[in-house]
Amino acid sequence: MSAEQDHENLTLDDGLTDFFVTADERQTSRASYLADPAFSSVALTSSTVVGEGTVELLAFWVSNEEYAVDIREIHEIMKVPELTEVPRAPAFLIGLISLRGTVVPILDLRLILGLSVTDVSRSSRVLVLRAGGEPVGILVDRVTSVVRLEQGAISNRPKAMRLGAAEVIDGVGRIDDRVLIILDTKAVVGVLEK
Amino acid sequence: MSKVSVSPEFIAEAQEIVDALNRDLIAVDQETRDGNQDVDPDRINNLFRSAHSLKGISGMFGLEAVSSLSHDMENLLDGMRLGKVSMDAKVLDVLFSCVDRFGVLIDEAAHGIVSDPSGSETLHKQLEEAATGTSDEEKVDLLDTIDLDKDILSVFTEYEEHRLRENIKRNKNLFTLRASLDLATFDEALAALDEILQGKAEVISKLPSADEVEPGNLGFDIIVGSPLNEDEMEKLTKGHVLLVVPIGCTHEVIPPPPDVPTANTANTANTANTESVAPQSGQDTGESPAATDGKDGGKQEPPKSGGGGGGGGGERPRAVQTVRVDIRRLDRLMNLVGELTLTKMSVQGISERLKQDFGFTGLAVDLHKESRIFERRLAELQAGIMEVRMVPLDNLFERMVRIGRHIGRDLGKVVRIEVSGAHTELDKLIVEDLADPLMHLIRNAVDHGLEMPEQRLAEGKPEEGTIKLSAMAQGNHVIVAIADDGNGINTERVLERAINRNLVSEERAEEMSKRDIYNLLFTPGFSTVEQVTEYSGRGVGMDVVKTNIAELSGIIDVDSAIGKGTTFTVTLPITLAIIPALVVSISGQVYALPLNNVLETISLVDIVIKTIEGREVISVRGTTVPLVDLREIFYLEGTRPEGAFCVVAGVGENRMALVVDELIGQQDIVIKSLGRRLRNIPGIAGATELGDQKTILVIDMVGLLTELTKLDDGGDRTKVAV
C-alpha cells in the first residue's frame, strides 16, 4: 500500500463534505471548509511520498495533552455530527452516526484516557478510524497538523502512565519541543470489545 | 452408463459444493505460491467438509462415481488435516483434477447420464498415493537435522512430532528452554511462560526434565520453535527460564513471518533476503510474486482450472439457468436504495421550498413531477431487489422430506411426509437460516413424535406415520407448521424431567398450565444431548431451535393432543431486509419498533394502570400485560407525559406494553447492524436512518420480551437492567 493512496482518502470530495457538515454549517463552501486551519495542507496535497523509517501522524489535542495517530489509520475527519445516543452502553460510547450507510460508534477519547471532559466546541472534530473495516470514530478537541517523525524519534511509552490510559498508548514522539502521545488505535477501538 | 433422472435441486447443491471446493483450492494454491508453506488450517477443514457433504448428497442420489471419488478425496484431506500429508503442488494438482471430474460428472448427471466409478480410476489411484505417500522419508531427514535427544523424541506424541517437523520445515529456530519451577506453583509459572511466548514462539512440547534441578523444584524442558534468534529468545524469557539451548537453527536465512507487522524486530539476516522477495501482494488476484521458495520451483504448476469460482467450463453446457449471487451484494444494493430514498426526500424538500418561495410554476412544476416519477421508480427498484431475495420454500421442503424419510428408515419407522404450500416465498437469508431449526423439528417429529409401527398398530392407527409440513403466507408473515400424528406430548413426563433437571420447582410445577409445560421444551438444559447420529450430531436442543428462530424475528409455538399428535408452528417475517416499523419518541429520543411483533397501540389516557408487586400492569382484552417504560430500562431522563401511548407487543404467549410518548408514524426501514463490536447491547436490534438523515435505534422487541420473561421467572430486576 502506498502512502499516496492513503492520503487520497483524506481528501473530502464535494459529496462527502456536504454529507458530513452539520446543518448549520452547510452554507460553508467546500473551499472554505478545506481551508479550515484544522487541516494542514500536508494532509490534503497527497503528493509526497514518505521514506522508509518515517511515519506520518495526525496530531490533535485532547483536553490539555497532544496526541497523535498514524495517518494511515484515519478514514476521515469531520466536524462533530449529530449523535444518536445508545442506552446501556459504556459512558465513553457517546453515540452513533451513520457514515454512508454504515453505523459508526463514536468514542469520547477523554473518557477513555481519564482526562477532564469539556463541552464540544467549534474546533472539536471526530476522527474516523479505519479499525479493520468497521470504522470507529473518536472525538478530539482540536486537530493540529500532520507531522512526520523518524522511527528513532519515537520512544516506548513511559512506565508511569495514568491508569487506563497506559493500555491505549503506543509510544511517545518528540518533535522540537512538542511531545506527542501516540495512540494505539487497535487498543482504543478494543475498549469497545471489553 | 445408465439413464436416470436426478433432481435439479441436487444438481444445484452439488454444484455449489464443487464451486466452494474450487474456491478454496484456488486460495490454497495462491497461499502456497506466495512461498508460504503455512496453509491456513481452516481452508483444509473447509475442503474436508465440502468433500464430506458432497459424498453425503451424492450417495443419497446414488451417484456412486461422485460419492466414491469424494470419499477418497475426504480421506486425503483428513490426512492433511492431521498433518500426515503435506500440501504440495502435486497433491494440489490431483485435487484440482478431482474437482474438474466432479464438474463433468455432475453435468452429466444433470443430463440424466450416470457414469460408474471406473471412469475415474486414475484419479482414485492418485488420491490413494497422495494419501499414503510423502511423509516417511522426509520425517527421518528433517528430524535428523536438529540436535534433539532421541529419548525426548521418543516421548513426543504424533501431533507434537508433526508440529516439530512443521517448524523445521518453516525454518524456525528451535530451542529447548530449561526451567526450574517451584513444585507448588509450577502450573502458574508455565502459564506465565506461555503468555510471554504467545505470538513469538510456538510451544511444541513441555517435558518434565530428567536432569537434576534445585530441590523442591520441578525441571521442565520446553521445546519451542520461533523466528527469534538465540539472543532474542534469551532476552524474552529472562527470569523465567534457566537456560536457552538452541537445538536447531537449520537455515541461516529465516524468511520473515507472514502477516506479522512487527517483522522488523525478527532478525537482521532478513534484510538481505527481503530484497529478492517481491512485496506481498495482499489479496490481489494478479500474479503471485516471484517467491524464492525453490521447493516447488521445478515442479509443474497446478492448473488453475475452473477459473474463479464457477466461472470455468464455459464450453460445457451449464446445468442450471440461474445466476448465483452472494446475498451480501443484494444487501449492498438494498443499502443503496436506502440512500437513494434519503436523496429522494431531499429532492422533494427542495421542490417544496421552490414551490413556497417562487410559486408553483415553471421549473418548480417540472421538478415536482420528476421527483414523483423518481419516487415511483425507486419503489419499483426496491420491490425488484426484494423479489430477487425471495425464494420459494420448495427446495428446503424437499430436503426436509428426504431427511425425514432417511431418519425414519434409520429408526425403523414408516414415515410419510405431506408437503403443502411449498411455493410460498421467503427471503433467501431466512430460508437458509431456517434449514437448521427445521431439520431439527423434523428429526424431533420422526424420532420423538411418531411411535414405532407396532405400537401404532396396537393403538389402532395406520402403521405409517404422517408428518405434515406446510407453509402459508399471512400478510407480511409466513407460517410454517410441522404436524405429526404421533403420541402427543406427555405433560407429566415433561414436568418430571424439568423437575429432575431443576428447571422448575415442584411448587411452581403444580400451577403450570399446559402451555407453560410445553414451553419447558424450549428451556436451555431441557433437551438432553442425544446420541450423535448423522442428523443430531450438532448437539442442537430445542432451546437452540427457539433462539435460531427468534434471531429471524420469528416465533415458535407448540400445540399437542395426547394420542393425536404434536404441531410446531413457526411464524416468520417475509424479509428482514426491509421491515415496516413504528417510529415513536420516548423522552425526546426517537426509536423504531419493528411492526413484526406489534399487536396494537393503545392510548393510555383511559386505561387504568394497576400495580402488582410494585410493577405496573394494564389489562388488554382480558389479559394482564406488564407495562414497560423504556425510561427505566434505558436510563432515560424525563417522566411519562400526559396522553402517552403504549405499544402492545407479543412473542408467542408473552406480551408486553411498551410506553411511548408520541407515535410519529409508520415507515419501512432498513435495519443496519451496529457492527461486530456493539452487537451485544441488549434491547437494541440495530440502527436505521430516517428521511431527515437522522440515525435512530431500532428496538429489539423479541430481546426485550425475552429479558422481561426471564425476570418473571424469578430473576432479579436490577440484575438484568444493567
Strands B589-594 and B578-586, sheet pairing? antiparallel
Write the CA distances from A86 to A97, B355, B486, B590, B672, integer angstroms: 11, 38, 49, 11, 14
Residue B283 is predicted with a pLDDT of 40
pLDDT top residue among B322 and B568: B568
pLDDT top residue among B463 and B402: B463
Residue B59 is predicted with a pLDDT of 81
**What distance lies between CA B51 and its chain's CA centroid?**
19
Residue B534 is predicted with a pLDDT of 41
The verdict on a CB contact (< 8 Å) between B677 and A86 is no
Write the CA distances from B132 to B92, B136, B391, B601, B641, integer angstroms: 15, 9, 45, 69, 77
A vs B, Cβ pairs < 8 A, gives 71
Contact criterion met (CB below 8 Å) for B179 and B219: yes
Residue B35 is predicted with a pLDDT of 58
**10 Å Cβ neighbour count for A14?**
9
Q: Is A103 exposed, middle or buried (0-12, 13-18, 19+ CB in 10 A)?
A: buried
What's the mean pLDDT in B486-500? 85
Nearest chain A residue to B635 by CA distance is A87
Q: What are the pLDDT digits (tens) for B65-110?
A: 888 888 888 888 888 877 777 777 778 888 888 888 888 888 888 8
Confidence label for A120 from pLDDT (cuts 50, 70 and 90): confident
The percent of residues above 90 in pLDDT, for chain A, comes to 26
Lowest-pLDDT range, A142-151, B6-15, B55-64, B406-415? B6-15
Q: What are the pLDDT digits (tens) for B178-231?
A: 888 877 777 788 888 888 888 788 888 887 776 666 777 778 888 888 888 888
The percent of residues above 70 in pLDDT, for chain A, comes to 68
What does pLDDT average to over chain B?
A: 77
- Residues B542, B439: Cα–Cα separation, whole Å: 11
Hey, what's the cell of B459?
Answer: 393403538
> Is residue A8 predicted with pLDDT exceeding 50?
no
Interface residues from chain A to B (CB-CB < 8 Å):
1, 82, 84-89, 93, 96-98, 100-103, 105, 134, 136, 189, 192-193
What's the mean pLDDT in B556-579? 85
What does pLDDT average to over chain A?
A: 73
Contact partners, residue B298, CB within 8 Å, separation at least 6: none
Q: Is B424 exposed, middle or buried (0-12, 13-18, 19+ CB in 10 A)?
A: buried
Q: What are the pLDDT digits (tens) for B297-337?
A: 334 444 433 333 333 333 444 445 677 777 778 878 877 88
Instruction: Assess B140–A contact: CB distance below 8 Å, yes or no.
Output: no
Chain A: closest CA distance from residue B696 (Å): 6
> Is residue B262 predicted with pLDDT exceeding 70?
no
For the full predicted model, state whether its pTM sits above 0.80.
Answer: no
Confidence label for A2 from pLDDT (cuts 50, 70 and 90): very low
Residue B217 is predicted with a pLDDT of 77
The verdict on a CB contact (< 8 Å) between B677 and A105 is yes
What's the mean pLDDT in A112-137? 87
The sheet with strand A125-129 has its strands ordered as A74-79, A125-129, A136-140, A102-108, A93-99
Contact criterion met (CB below 8 Å) for B332 and B124: no
Residue B211 is predicted with a pLDDT of 64
Confidence label for A31 from pLDDT (cuts 50, 70 and 90): very low
Contact partners, residue B170, CB within 8 Å, separation at least 6: B37, B38, B225
Half-sphere exposure of B442 (CA within 13 A, CB side): 29
What's the mean pLDDT in B480-495? 89
**10 Å Cβ neighbour count for B210?**
10
The verdict on a CB contact (< 8 Å) between A87 and B677 is no
Confidence label for B661 from pLDDT (cuts 50, 70 and 90): very high
Contact criterion met (CB below 8 Å) for B68 and B124: yes
Burial B532-541 (b: 16+ CB within 10 A, else e): eeebbeeebb
Q: What are the pLDDT digits (tens) for B502-559?
A: 888 888 888 888 888 888 888 777 765 444 344 443 445 787 788 888 778 788 888 8
| CB < 8 Å to B591, chain A | none
The percent of residues above 90 in pLDDT, for chain B, comes to 11
> Is residue B8 predicted with pLDDT exceeding 50?
yes
The verdict on a CB contact (< 8 Å) between A100 and B339 is yes
What's the mean pLDDT in A116-120? 80
What ipTM was predicted for this assembly? 0.72
Q: Among A84, A88, A101, select the one facing B338 at the smallest CB separation.
A: A101
- Residues B178, B211: Cα–Cα separation, whole Å: 10
| CB < 8 Å to A85, chain B | 589
Q: Among A93, A98, A192, select the one facing B695 at the smallest CB separation.
A: A98
> Is residue B263 predicted with pLDDT exceeding 60?
no
Contact criterion met (CB below 8 Å) for B112 and B4: yes
Chain B contact probe: residue of A98, A100, A107 with most B CBs at under 10 A: A98
Residue B37 is predicted with a pLDDT of 59
Residue B483 is predicted with a pLDDT of 94
Strands B415-420 and B465-474, sheet pairing? parallel
Q: What are the pLDDT digits (tens) for B346-396?
A: 788 888 888 888 888 888 888 989 989 998 998 889 888 888 888 889 888
Residue B281 is predicted with a pLDDT of 40
Q: What are the pLDDT digits (tens) for A47-97?
A: 344 556 788 999 999 988 899 999 999 998 999 988 999 998 888 999 999
Chain B contact probe: residue of A103, A126, A184 with most B CBs at under 10 A: A103
Q: What angle do CA B651, B654, B657 make, to 5 degrees?
A: 95
Lowest-pLDDT range, B255-269, B559-573, B603-617? B255-269
What's the mean pLDDT in B56-68? 83
Residue B32 is predicted with a pLDDT of 73
Rg (CA), chain A: 16
DSSP B661: S
Instruction: Assess B338–A contact: CB distance below 8 Å, yes or no.
Output: yes
Chain B: closest CA distance from residue A134 (Å): 7
